[in-house]
């Protein structure tokens, strides 16, 4: 499957003359068999397509230098070419066919357009293919990026930071409405829930992992270098950035957790400021990393931070080229 920045499936075809493939895998469930081949110079996707009454295959070659991030993972293969991580409960309506592997790539074409492309392979091939791809790219497979987008990028950063405290929040602490107001309950069919706040030595993560594909894109990570002050204002914790144009208001209705979160946030900020050995982590803005679930790019901003314009990981800040 190939998805474009405009959100429409593209019948792209590209032959770069790739040779010397070290891996060849076939879609274990497709009637019109799809193929994936990878070698030292790049990858070739040969994907099944149907148009009205006609079945055919589309070939697309990519070079490793075009890859921004990737995931090679085990999934449950479902009807309608859908999938879900093997060890996670699939959303309602997903009809599981059986286990498989998935190779998902987020790539930058011609320096100006992001695309997603993925293929299914036998489950037993996942470990070998992941090792090969990581060797060619020099970066690790990014767990969850294929199905959870930006939330997976945040989770990866937090797991590689020094977590000092973590808080799971109620839904009403995200909706900015009174708990007694109508329409303040999450919609179960969309898997909505409040975010997890992780206060690390390096910064803070707001993680919507598992809260549905739209909320997951609102996940974010703020390095402490961006934060000027954290204080309380009525039922809201205020995060004041050094940039005067931005203030984040975290609503917490219950007094006890509100004070606990405020204390934890200020403690983490103080730990950062009193330390001389903290490596600077990248800022991750919302809507930066699309997943295979995004058939539309409404509100997605895939170039809005360094991490989404360049290869990710690594997670640490760097001087970005002007080009």
- Torsion, CA 85, CA 315, CA 5, CA 62, rounded to 10: -80
Average pLDDT over residues 7-18: 68
- Per-residue pLDDT of 113-172, as tens digits, reads 788 899 999 999 999 999 999 999 999 999 999 999 999 999 999 999 999 999 999 999
Q: Is residue 1 pLDDT above 70, yes or no?
A: no
Domain 2-141, architecture per CATH: Roll (2.30)
> Does the pLDDT of residue 108 top 90, yes or no?
no
- Neighbour-count burial of 71, counting CB atoms closer than 10 A to its CB (0-12 exposed, 13-18 middle, 19+ buried): buried
pLDDT score of 298 more than 80: no
Instruction: Judge whether 146 and 291 are in contact, CB under 8 Å.
Output: yes
Question: What does the alpha-carbon distance between residue 262 and residue 134 come to, in Å, rounded to a whole number?
Answer: 40
Between the ranges 28-37, 178-187, 257-266, where is the mean pLDDT highest?
Answer: 257-266
Fold of 152-289+305-309: PH-domain like (2.30.29)
As given in the structure block, the two tokens for residue 159 are: 């797991």
Q: Which residues pair with 76 in a beta bridge?
A: 84, 99
Q: What is the mean pLDDT of residues 270-279?
A: 96
The confidence score (pLDDT) of residue 264 equals 98
Distance in angstroms (rounded) separating the CA atoms of residues 89 and 230 = 37
Beta strands in the chain (DSSP E): 2-3, 23-26, 35-38, 42-51, 54-63, 67-78, 83-85, 96-109, 113-121, 163-168, 196-200, 203-207, 220-223, 227-233, 236-241, 247-251
Asked if 71 contacts 143 with a C-beta cutoff of 8 angstroms, the reply is yes
More confident residue, 225 or 32: 225
The total of other beta-carbon atoms located within 10 Å of residue 220's CB is 24
Please check the confidence at residue 11 and state whether its pLDDT lies above 60. no
DSSP β-ladder status, 220-223 and 42-51:
unpaired
Residue with tokens 């910064």: 203
Judge contact between 300 and 287, C-beta under 8 A: yes
In the predicted model, what is the mean pLDDT of residues 257-280?
97
CA angle 123, 127, 128 (to 5 degrees): 105
- Tell me how far apart the alpha carbons of residues 243 and 249 are, in angstroms, rounded to a whole number: 15
Q: How far apart are CA 18 and CA 27, in angstroms?
A: 20
Confidence of residue 70 (pLDDT cuts 50, 70, 90): very high
Instruction: Check residue 210 and give its pLDDT.
Output: 94
Contact present, 149 and 242 (Cβ < 8 Å): no
Q: Picking from 2-16, 139-153, 160-174, 184-198, which range would have the lowest pLDDT averaged per residue?
A: 2-16
Query: Is residue 146 helix, strand or coil?
Result: helix
Q: What are the b/e assignments for 90-122, b being 16+ CB within 10 Å?
A: bbeeeeeeebbbbbbbbbbeeeeebbbbbbbbe
pTM, two decimal places = 0.90
Question: Which residues belong to CATH 2.30.29.30 in the chain?
Answer: 152-289+305-309
pLDDT mean over 30-43: 90
């Amino acid at each position: 499957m190939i998805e474009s920045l405009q959100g429409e499936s593209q019948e792209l075809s590209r032959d770069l003359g790739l040779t010397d493939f070290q891996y060849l895998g076939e879609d274990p469930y497709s009637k019109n068999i799809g193929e994936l081949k990878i070698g030292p110079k790049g990858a070739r996707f040969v994907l099944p397509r149907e148009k009205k009454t006609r079945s055919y295959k589309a070939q697309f070659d990519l070079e490793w230098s075009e890859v921004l991030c990737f995931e090679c993972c085990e999934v449950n293969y479902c009807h309608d070419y859908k999938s879900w991580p093997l060890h996670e409960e699939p959303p309602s309506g997903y009809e599981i066919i059986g286990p498989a592997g998935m190779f998902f790539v987020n790539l930058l074409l011609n320096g100006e357009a992001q695309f997603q492309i993925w293929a299914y392979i036998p489950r037993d091939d996942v470990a070998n293919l992941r090792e090969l791809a990581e060797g060619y790219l020099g970066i690790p497979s990014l767990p969850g990026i294929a199905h959870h987008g930006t939330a997976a990028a945040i989770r990866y950063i937090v797991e590689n930071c020094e977590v000092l405290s973590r808080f799971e929040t109620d839904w009403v602490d995200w909706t900015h409405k009174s708990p007694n107001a109508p329409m303040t309950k999450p919609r179960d069919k969309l898997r909505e829930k409040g975010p997890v706040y992780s206060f690390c030595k390096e910064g803070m993560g707001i993680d919507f992992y598992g809260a549905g594909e739209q909320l997951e894109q609102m996940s974010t990570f703020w390095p402490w270098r961006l934060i000027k002050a954290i204080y309380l204002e009525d039922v809201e914790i205020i995060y004041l950035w050094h940039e005067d144009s931005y203030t984040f208001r975290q609503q917490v209705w219950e007094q006890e957790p509100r004070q606990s979160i405020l204390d934890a946030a200020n403690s983490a900020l103080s730990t950062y400021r009193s330390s001389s050995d903290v490596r600077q982590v990248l800022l991750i803005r919302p809507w930066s990393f699309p997943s295979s679930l995004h058939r539309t790019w409404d509100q997605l901003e895939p170039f809005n931070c360094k991490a989404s314009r360049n290869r990710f990981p690594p997670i640490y800040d760097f001087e970005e080229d002007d080009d």
